[in-house]
Amino acid sequence: ARAQVGDAALYAIHDASGARLALVGDRDLAFVVARQNEMTPVSVH
């Protein structure tokens, strides 16, 4: 999920139940973090 804080875009990493696990400033990094934690990254709008 993508959020906006001021002019900065943030990407949230959530678990299957919807709990937010992390916020990062880059989509590619969000996908890497998800994969490193044995999750399958998806884009949600």
Return the H-helix or E-strand segment holding 9: strand 8-14
Whole-structure pTM value = 0.74
pLDDT of residue 6: 77
**Sequence spans of domains, the chain:** 2-36
Count CB atoms within 10 A of the CB of residue 11.
21
CA nearest neighbour of 1 among 37, 38, 21 = 21
Q: How far apart are CA 4 and CA 40, in angstroms?
A: 23
First-to-last C-alpha distance (Å) of the chain = 7
> pLDDT per residue over 1-45, tens digit each?
666 677 788 899 998 899 999 999 999 999 999 999 999 998 886
